[in-house]
C-alpha cells in the first residue's frame, strides 16, 4: 500500500486538500491528513477540519508522496513549518513524489526543488517558482514533481497524483467513476 501525507494548515483551500485525500484513498493509498501545527485547522473559507494527526508527529515517517494544498494564508503557514520542510526534503531526496497546488508550488520553489522542472501555479506566483520552467497548464508532472494551478484544477491534480502512484488505468477508472 502506498503511503501519502497531505498537509492542512489554517487558511488552506479546502477543495485543494480534500479532493486529493478523497481520490487517493479511493485508489487504495494510506493517506495521512496532517495538520500544521496542530490537527485542528480552519480553512480559507471557514470550514473547520480535524486532520488525522499533527505534522510534527509525522516527521521521520516514510511516504511515497507528499502533497501541499494551497490557499492563503495556508501556503504561508506550510512554508513556515520546519516539520513540513523536513518531510518534503526527505521525500524529495529519496526520489518520492512531491506535489503542490495553487500557491503552494511557491514553497517548493523557495526550497529549490523546482530547478529545471516544468511547473505551474496560481497566476501571480510564477516568479516564486525559482528555477522552474513555468507552464500554463492545469496540472503538470515533471519526474517526481507534480504541480497544479488552483482550486478549479483540484480533480485533475488529484487524478494526476493517482496516476503517478497507481498508473493511468487506475486514474482513468476513478475519473469515470466520479465524473460519469
Q: 137 φ, ψ to 5°?
A: -125, 155
Task: Give yes or no: 133 in active site.
Answer: no
Q: What is the largest CA-CA distance in the chain?
A: 41
Give the Cα separation of 160 and 170 in Å (integer). 10
Burial 38-65 (b: 16+ CB within 10 A, else e): ebebebbeeeebebbeebbebeeeebbb
Give the Cα separation of 89 and 20 in Å (integer). 20
Grid cell 488525522 in the structure block, residue: 52
Which residues, 6+ apart, have CB-to-CB distance to 150 below 8 Å? 13, 16, 70, 101, 102, 122
Residue of 43, 58, 102, 121 with catalytic role:
102
Whether residue 144 contacts residue 97, with contact meaning beta carbons closer than 8 Å, is answered with yes
Q: For residue 52, which of 60, 41, 63, 68 has the smallest C-alpha distance?
A: 41
Supply the residues annotated as catalytic.
102
Amino acid at each position: 500500500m502506498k503511503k501519502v501525507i497531505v498537509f492542512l494548515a489554517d487558511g488552506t483551500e479546502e477543495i485543494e486538500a480534500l479532493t486529493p485525500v478523497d481520490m487517493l484513498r479511493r485508489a487504495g493509498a494510506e493517506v495521512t491528513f496532517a495538520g500544521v501545527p496542530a490537527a485542528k485547522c480552519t480553512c480559507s473559507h471557514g470550514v473547520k477540519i480535524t486532520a488525522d494527526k499533527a505534522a510534527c508527529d509525522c516527521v521521520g515517517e516514510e511516504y511515497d508522496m507528499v502533497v501541499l494544498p494551497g490557499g492563503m494564508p495556508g501556503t504561508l503557514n506550510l512554508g513556515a513549518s520546519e516539520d513540513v520542510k523536513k518531510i518534503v526534503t526527505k521525500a524529495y531526496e529519496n526520489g518520492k513524489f512531491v506535489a503542490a497546488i495553487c500557491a503552494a508550488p511557491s514553497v517548493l520553489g523557495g526550497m529549490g526543488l523546482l530547478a529545471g522542472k516544468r511547473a505551474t501555479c496560481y497566476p501571480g506566483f510564477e516568479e516564486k517558482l525559482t528555477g522552474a520552467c513555468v507552464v500554463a497548464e492545469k496540472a503538470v508532472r515533471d519526474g517526481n514533481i507534480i504541480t497544479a494551478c488552483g482550486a478549479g484544477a483540484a480533480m485533475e491534480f488529484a487524478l494526476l497524483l493517482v496516476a503517478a502512484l497507481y498508473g493511468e488505468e487506475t486514474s482513468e477508472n476513478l475519473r469515470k467513476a466520479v465524473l460519469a
